[in-house]
Amino acid sequence: MDNFTFCSPTLFAFGRGEERRTGELVRKSGGSRVLLHYGGGSIKRSGLYDRVMAALHEQGLSVCELGGVRPNPRSGLVYEGIALARRERVDFVLAVGGGSVIDSAKAIAAGAVYEGDFLDFYKGKIVTSSLPVGVVLTIPAAGSEGSPNTVITNEKTGVKKGGRGEVLRPRFAVLNPELCFTLPPYQSASGATDMMAHVLERYFTTTQNVELTDRLCEAVLLTVMSELPKVLRDPTDYDAQANLMWAGTVAHNNSCGVGRTQDWGSHALEHQLSALYDVAHGAGLAVMFPAWMRYVCHRDTARFVKLATRVFGCEENTADPMSTALEGIDRFVAFLRSVGMPTTFGEIGAREQDIPRMVELMGVSEEKKVGVFFPMGPRDVEAIYRLAL
């Protein structure tokens, strides 16, 4: 096991009606002038906007707001948010929405106290100072409510990149599974795929003998696979939504990833897909992750066998481990298809002729590869995209 430092100080307020505590939680986090950040009109139609506003006003907080975050959040709105936060002397950014809203809120919170261009944080500079961020989560998927990460698409270049910094972990996150009752099935399935991908990026490690985190990863994967079908059958199944929602947080707050190298190559491959086609992140991952797995499974076949037997219920073929590894991948694909996810380029409108552009956007070279379990150069990237055709 590798040395690690782990600190997840986010307060999670989980369950029915917990959004009523939002004002109190902002106040306890030291906030008084709040920027409320959200996406489209769904939180207004559902009444959530009104309940959150009431909770904020009950605590005498001053509130300004900025809506309009779209999936795969864009830099333009972040600049607008930073200007607004400065103008209104905001001291707390409250994200009400899913991962895109949270990531955009984190960008605004970091950018508001930074003298340079906030996009520096999406080019490798670690965020070390930020306004505090709070979350009321409406879509379980990205895990951004408990993570130190944020992903933004640069509108000018079309490049989608991640930024990070421990200060970006939200001060609190309100998670009410009832807020997921109205999610369309495709969105629930995309979210769950994102969770599985977050776990798998950690599962595929070069660190040996990390049994506890292996087992924790497997626990989350097994849970997502048992709960998502229940949610798709009945989106008002509270317990299934609750297990799935909390799985999304656990999948990405790094409790499953401490003390081990992590890969993250598949996420990079997907970012180019969603930058070019604006596909849902989870759906893009459903296309790219199995392709990546097929390309790299010779690297540590035993690890793929472990996944296949412990998570996908395969019998181990000791005479031919690779057949077990491949069967595991097949079952993963079958699961994804069973929950309505695409698993090929064609299904998401991605085109073979765009592959060179995607390879270019990845920004890899033989000297600067991406991924840790399997460092990918340009030829690997191209081959994996082709496996996803």
Residues binding a second copy (CB under 8 A) = 1-18, 177, 208-212, 215-216, 218-220, 222-223, 226-227, 238-240, 242-243, 246-247, 250, 255, 258-259
Residues 6+ apart with CB under 8 A from 183: 139, 191, 235
Nearest residue (CB) to a second copy, 120 versus 218: 218
Q: Is 309 helix (H, G, I), strand (E, B) or coil?
A: helix
Q: Which residue has the tokens 């409320």?
A: 36
- In whole angstroms, the minimum distance from the beta carbon of 63 to a second copy comes to 24
Task: Choose between 24 and 330: whose C-beta lies nearer to a second copy.
Answer: 24
H-type helices in 121-207, by residue range? 185-203
Number of Cα atoms under 13 Å in the Cβ half of residue 173: 29
| CB closer to a second copy, 240 vs 350 | 240
Supply 196's token pair: 């599985």
The torsion defined by the Cα of 103, 105, 107 and 108, in degrees rounded to 10, comes to 170
Q: How far is the CB of 6 from a second copy (least distance, A)?
A: 5
- Beta-bridge partners for 37: 66, 95
| Nearest to a second copy of 65, 218 (CB atom) | 218
Closest distance to a second copy from the beta carbon of 30 (Å) = 15
Q: Whole-number minimum distance, CB 177 to a second copy, in Å?
A: 8
By C-beta, is 4 or 44 nearer to a second copy? 4
Question: What minimum distance in Å lies between the beta carbon of 29 and a second copy?
Answer: 12
81-93 core/surface letters (b: 16 or more CB in 10 A; e: else): bbebbeeeebbbb
The residues pairing with 31 across neighbouring beta strands, listed in sequence order, are none
